[in-house]
Amino acid sequence: MITMKRCALVLGASGGLGGAMVAEFLNDPAIDKVFAVSSKQNTTDLSGGHSQSKLVWLQSEYNETAMADTVSHLMPFAGMFSRVCICHGLLHSDKLWPEKRLEDINSNALQDIFQSNAVVPALWLKVLFKVLKGQVPCIVATMSARVGSVSDNHLGGWYAYRASKSALNMILKTAAIEYARRAKNVKFIAFHPGTTDTPLSKPFQATVPTGKLFTPEFVAERLAIIMDSAKLDGELAYLDWDGQSIAW
């Protein structure tokens, strides 16, 4: 009996959560090969003692031409992907900061944050379709955020980040509907990792309640458990790190 290989794909793999997901999949005996994609070269040994042949690291810019070229390298494994994590995200940088009031809104910052948080994941869903479609159940988790919930917004502020994550959720919902028609083996999850100890959250960690600042390894383990239990129902799930549903 021939068993089809199972592959995992991590996009945005050089970040804290992306690297943790790569390590998590490398430790999963049910996954035969892990593909990691980032705009930076891999300088960290994530193999954890595993054979380096299990990990394939691809460097790519996040424009559609480069992303399509990356997918061409994945085509020999089309239909074998059982796990995909899209880990892109931008909250702040040296040039931009979350808005506290309307006067802080800046068009360039809006465009940069929407590009990273919504546009790039949407393009991945477009170019990856022919790779993910197949008979192997494929769970696609994308890093969303609770602040993308319209009904959960009680504090205001953070206009660009909130709106970009809400836009991401709608993109994922729309893609889930189309994939359900054209690639029934794919299930989408919009995932809220909680406040994770990565550079994205670093400036805001002082106000995090005790016990609510998670390590990337903990979040990766939780997401892996959630993906393992996901059902191919053609619906988008909006879940937090504890597997609880978030209101849209």
C-alpha closest to that of 224 among 22, 16, 4: 22
Residues of the chain short of pLDDT 70, as ranges, are 1-4, 43-52, 199-208, 211
Rounded to whole angstroms, how far apart are CA atoms 175 and 166?
Answer: 14
Backbone angle region of 183, left / alpha / beta, with phi > 0 → left and psi within -120 to 50 → alpha: beta
Query: Of all helices (H) and strands (E), which one includes residue 162?
Result: helix 159-182
Exposed / middle / buried, residue 157 (Cβ in 10 Å: 0-12, 13-18, 19+):
middle
Contacts 24+ apart (CB under 8 A), 31-36: 31/6, 31/7, 31/82, 31/83, 32/5, 32/6, 32/7, 33/5, 33/7, 33/8, 33/77, 34/7, 34/8, 34/9, 34/10, 35/7, 35/8, 35/9, 35/10, 35/74, 35/77, 36/9, 36/10
> In this structure, are residues 70 and 60 in contact, taking their beta carbons and an 8 Å threshold?
yes
Predicted pLDDT at 203: 62
Helix (H, G, I), strand (E, B) or coil at 25: helix
- Find the farthest-apart pair of alpha carbons in the chain and give their distance in angstroms, rounded: 64
Q: Which residue type, as a one-letter code, is found at position 25?
A: F
Q: Six-digit token pair at 134?
A: 């197949």
DSSP secondary structure of 165-217: HHHHHHHHHHHHHHHHHH-TTEEEEEEE--EESSTTTGGGGGGSPTT-EE-HH
Q: Give the distance from CA 224 to its chain's centroid.
A: 12
pLDDT tens-digit map of 40-52:
877 565 555 555 6
Rounded Cα distance between 228 and 164, Å, is: 27
Tokens of 139: 């769970």
Range 7-240 has CATH code 3.40.50.720: yes
Phi and psi at residue 40, in whole multiples of 5°?
-110, 155
How many CB atoms within 10 Å of residue 87?
A: 26
The answer to whether 235 and 248 are in contact (CB under 8 A) is no
Q: What is the pLDDT of residues 145-197, one digit of tens each?
A: 999 999 999 999 999 999 999 999 999 999 999 999 999 999 999 999 988 77
Is-above-0.85 flag for pTM? Answer: yes
Give the pLDDT confidence score for residue 46 in this predicted structure: 59
Q: What is the pLDDT of residue 1?
A: 37
H or E stretch covering 90: none
